Chains A and B, each alone.
Chain A
């Protein structure tokens, strides 16, 4: 997977995986998953240096932490299609005796997962700890983390943000999935984040923006720019604007598909909009 066409095909296939996975069990979170497809593909296929087979300690490789664990479908599909585990295992998502729990966990030994997440607000602290372990081990790899924008309402995020800047943790690139929506509605209606860029800057972070997080090139360029700014004494955050439900017309422009799965008819409509590019699981 090197050229852009292939990566775009991968994005489409991952979107198919996501809607099929949640539809199969009538549960899960398709909206945020669909909105972050380009980010995951950029990270795992272009930006991060990773090693196989999976090793929990991840020595001399970049590490990724998903803090908003409910978008597990996009994480699982990306991991499977990047060779971490068999693609057909996506069929077990949220089913009994599966390694693909509703929210990611290390508990079932799924390769690619380094921390459980689901209860929000915890992933930034974990990522910072991993970043400090890298420094202690003289490992110059980079830590990446992804957070929901609604998740930033959790206080622990800001404890972690204060700590990272205060301790010059400069080997971390955190990204906010800035889609403006959470389960109960728009962020503005539920609890406004105010001027989010200024908040991160006030906490001492270098804040970058990606205008369209559903444009693969923009995401790759944004992450590479962030990478070039590591090692300069400051943690880096990317405010990445995405569209919840991106790629499925009826899921876009609403918060309603944050945590609901399509029925059979809706699934068919979604799949008609997403070509089977690489073969379904």
Chain B
């Protein structure tokens, strides 16, 4: 198992803020909109540096999505910022009609996704957003894993023409992706080569997959760990190549099982090459108040859950082939 150096502990939303600020300087067509959560989204630096290109919308997310769609008419590249819950479920029809169906070049940037939002509780902990957004035709869905990858993804989506959903989070987590590593939309990132199982992880679960991989290695299990930062379009080639080698799969995401990354991979495998698969995800449940760590443990999103899923899925392969 490859060794991953922890470069620091940072929140992915700060990676977004840093990327947005850099974009402000690089691309004068980039504009930013926020619905009264500028501090939480780390958009202050952009606001301070480029006040003419920053739009404070107030607590009116539906209006924000419409204004963003309108700003594209005239060549602007709008980045909207609010919590993931208010970036998706609350404004789904606005996104569907005014952005996705209208094919507007809007970047929907969503912080505080998933359980790790923590104490605010289930009203704010959206676990359905990946599913909602990946169902929209033409929508690109990205969930980067750490500060550096979130920053790189923020820069990359400005150059992609078309609507994008960029999902990130609130807590400080391990930064381990090298600074300035190029972000290629739709290209899975192979983190560790292995032979016994393929672990496909997205977002905050990528680091947990690495932690799980280290424990598995000590048990003699060689895990291939692949970072699926782009859930849509899915890098089918990378997934199929890995599964051809390992014959079994574990997926890991901070999201409902229904509609998430695991579902996308299961669908692909069912079509192309059926293989045993186990899912580490939230199982048809809302979250609740608590610290991020407590919540990840209670809802089965820890490294231990990945390890157990790997052992289970490998046992299923053995049964099939013995």
Q: Identify the A interface with B (CB < 8 A).
A: 56-59, 63, 65, 105-107, 114-119, 121-134, 136-137, 139, 155-156, 159-160, 162-163, 166-167
Measured CB to CB, the closest approach of chain B to A48, in angstroms, equals 15
Interface size class of B (residues with CB under 8 A): 20 to 34
- Are B66 and A126 within 8 A (Cβ)? yes
- Are A126 and B69 within 8 A (Cβ)? yes
Measured CB to CB, the closest approach of chain A to B95, in angstroms, equals 10
**Once bound together, how far apart are the Cα atoms of A166 and B58, in whole Å?**
10
- Are B73 and A56 within 8 A (Cβ)? yes
Measured CB to CB, the closest approach of chain A to B103, in angstroms, equals 6
**Once bound together, how far apart are the Cα atoms of A258 and B69, in whole Å?**
28
**Which residues of B sit under 8 angstroms from A105, Cβ to Cβ?**
101-102
- Are B74 and A122 within 8 A (Cβ)? no
Closest Cβ neighbor of A109 among chain B residues: B103
**Once bound together, how far apart are the Cα atoms of A65 and B98, in whole Å?**
12
Of A115, A123, A129, most B-chain CB atoms within 10 Å: A129
Residues 127-157 of B at the A interface (beta carbon under 8 Å): none
**Which residues of B sit under 8 angstroms from A107, Cβ to Cβ?**
101-103
Given contacts A57-B75, A159-B63, contact A125 B97 (CB under 8 A): no
**Which residues of A sit under 8 angstroms from B60, Cβ to Cβ?**
156, 159-160, 162-163
**Which residues of A sit under 8 angstroms from B103, Cβ to Cβ?**
106-107
Residues 60-114 of B at the A interface (beta carbon under 8 Å): 60, 62-76, 78, 93-94, 96-98, 101-104
- Are A119 and B66 within 8 A (Cβ)? no
**Which residues of B sit under 8 angstroms from A59, Cβ to Cβ?**
74
23 A-B interface contacts by CB (under 8 A): A57-B75, A105-B102, A107-B102, A115-B69, A115-B73, A124-B66, A125-B94, A125-B98, A126-B66, A126-B69, A126-B73, A127-B70, A128-B66, A129-B66, A129-B68, A129-B71, A129-B72, A130-B71, A132-B55, A137-B74, A155-B62, A159-B60, A166-B58
Is B172 part of the binding interface, using a Cβ–Cβ cutoff of 8 Å?
Answer: no
**Which residues of B sit under 8 angstroms from A127, Cβ to Cβ?**
70
Is B52 part of the binding interface, using a Cβ–Cβ cutoff of 8 Å?
Answer: yes
- Are A63 and B65 within 8 A (Cβ)? no
**Once bound together, how far apart are the Cα atoms of A117 and B94, in whole Å?**
10
**Which residues of B sit under 8 angstroms from A131, Cβ to Cβ?**
70
Given contacts A105-B102, A136-B52, A163-B63, contact A122 B73 (CB under 8 A): no
Closest Cβ neighbor of B138 among chain A residues: A107
- Are B74 and A125 within 8 A (Cβ)? no
Apart from A128-B66, A136-B53, A163-B63, what 12 extra A-B contacts exist at CB < 8 Å?
A58-B73, A105-B101, A119-B96, A119-B97, A126-B70, A128-B63, A129-B73, A131-B70, A133-B70, A156-B66, A163-B57, A163-B60
**Which residues of A sit under 8 angstroms from B57, Cβ to Cβ?**
163
Is B31 part of the binding interface, using a Cβ–Cβ cutoff of 8 Å?
Answer: yes
A125 partner, pick from B52, B63, B73, B75, beta carbons under 8 A:
B63
Per-residue CB contact flags for chain B residues 299-320 toward chain A (1 = under 8 Å, else 0) read 0000000000000000000000
- Are B102 and A116 within 8 A (Cβ)? yes
- Are B66 and A122 within 8 A (Cβ)? yes
**Once bound together, how far apart are the Cα atoms of A26 and B299, in whole Å?**
53
**Which residues of B sit under 8 angstroms from A65, Cβ to Cβ?**
70
Given contacts A106-B103, A163-B60, contact A136 B65 (CB under 8 A): no
